[in-house]
Amino acid sequence: MQPKSRHEELREGQEWLAERRGIDVAYYPFRSPRIAGLLIHEDDGGYCIGINSRMILTRQLFSLAHELGRCALHRHVQAMFLCHVGRQDRPEREANTYAVQLLMPEHAVRELQARGKGLRDLCTYFGVSRAAMEWRLEELGLR
Ligand SMILES: [Zn+2]
């Protein structure tokens, strides 16, 4: 058996979290490059997150965390959310904040940085883009 990539480990961790919350996760190659993901409240009370599988892996992971945030924070607001790339209204920002904290927990970022890990190592470890990692380090005052 092939050893798992770091990305697979991280994705499975989030899928496990979704499952525990009664949320199905599906990957679909949406044709629109603007659709990052969506969240649907199904009639039976369950939820489904759809991730655009055409996007790069770091983006898919972020979308999954973002939709988990949507479900945790906004599931009572409406039955369906469609998340477009670059949309920046308040609920979107709240879901992004949730995703950032889920993907790059403060204690872990601080600990790895204190151990001298560079930007590239941090990106690999957390499965995020360089821009997202830089933003998080900045936010925590580590840059
Ligand atoms: Zn969204």
Residues 97 and 117 in one domain: no
Residue ranges making up the domain that contains 124? 104-143
φ, ψ of residue 103 to 5 degrees: the values are: -80, -35
Give the distance (Å) from ligand 1 centre to CA of residue 88.
Answer: 9
**pLDDT tens-digit profile of 88-100?**
899 999 999 999 9
Give the distance (Å) from ligand 1 centre to CA of residue 21.
Answer: 18
Buried/exposed 72-105: b ≥16 CB within 10 Å, e otherwise: eebeeeeeebebeeeeeeebbebbbebbbebbbe
State the Cα–Cα distance between residues 6 and 118, nearest whole angstrom.
Answer: 17
Given a cut of 90, whether residue 80 has pLDDT beyond it is no
Q: Which of 39, 9, 37 is nearest to 22 (CA)?
A: 39
**pLDDT tens-digit profile of 15-71?**
999 999 999 999 999 999 899 999 999 888 889 999 999 999 999 999 999 999 999
Give the distance (Å) from ligand 1 centre to CA of residue 28.
Answer: 16
Q: How confident is the model at residue 128 (pLDDT cuts 50, 70, 90)?
A: very high
Q: What is the pLDDT of residue 51?
A: 97
State the Cα–Cα distance between residues 10 and 108, nearest whole angstrom.
Answer: 14
Lowest mean pLDDT of 9-13, 17-21, 81-85, 116-120, name the range: 81-85
- Mean pLDDT, the chain, whole residue set: 93
Give the distance (Å) from ligand 1 centre to CA of residue 63.
Answer: 8
Give the distance (Å) from ligand 1 centre to CA of residue 116.
Answer: 33
Given a cut of 80, whether residue 82 has pLDDT beyond it is yes
Mean pLDDT of 112-119: 96
Residues 98 and 34 in one domain: yes
φ/ψ region of 91 (left if φ > 0, alpha if ψ in -120 to 50, else beta) reads: alpha
Residues 90 and 112 in one domain: no
Given a cut of 80, whether residue 1 has pLDDT beyond it is no
Residue 32 lies in a domain: yes
CATH number of the domain encompassing residue 51: 1.10.10
Q: What is the pLDDT of residue 48?
A: 95
Residues 63 and 19 in one domain: yes
What is the number of structural domains in the chain? 2
Residues 10 and 78 in one domain: yes
Residues 10 and 57 in one domain: yes
Q: Give the helix/strand (H/E) hosting 41.
A: strand 35-41
Do you know the residue count of the chain? 143
Residues 69 and 83 in one domain: yes
State the Cα–Cα distance between residues 140 and 143, nearest whole angstrom.
Answer: 8
Give the distance (Å) from ligand 1 centre to CA of residue 109.
Answer: 24
